[in-house]
Structure 1
Amino acid sequence: MVESGTLLFILALAGVGFSILRRPEAGPTAFWTWGCFALFGSGLCTFILAGFRWSLPVGHALATTYPVFLLAGALVYAERDRPRWLLPVALA
């Protein structure tokens, strides 16, 4: 039960985060904050929830999104366009 509840919480948080980040007025602080959340979620899945089968792949996927959020925040801060292919390439 805890496993499915934690998974639903992570998916809901990711859905809310991506809906916020898809807004054109999202500033660099939003991207950097979500990068920190991704890093925190990766550590949570990798170290604390290590007993569950699904936690390691989710933790590694979240770890690959951390530099993407940092780079996207830097691009927004420099007033440049964010490439749409950035997140799919990180998850590939």
Structure 2
Amino acid sequence: MKMINSRELNINTAKVLKQAGKEDLIVTVKGKPAALIQAFSEDDLEDYILTKLMEKRLKARAKDYQSKGAVSLNEMIEATERAIGKKV
């Protein structure tokens, strides 16, 4: 894993992105970590989107759990699946 500063990223974007295909890069701003650049395939993109969508829906179900006092795991899963079905 290599660290680069934001100025290097700005000046050498194409070079940095090519390097990110080989190793993870941490971008720093004023010496502090600000971002992670890593290789990403089309398959990774689909998995990432689905994971983020599930996280969002499960957080919403967790709020339901807290506000209602309790819901079953099956209710959480069914509500999440319904929400995903509507969005996708």
TM-score (norm 1): 0.38
Bigger RCO (CA 8 Å, 6+ sep): 1
TM-score (norm 2): 0.39
In terms of fraction of residues, the more strand-rich structure is 2
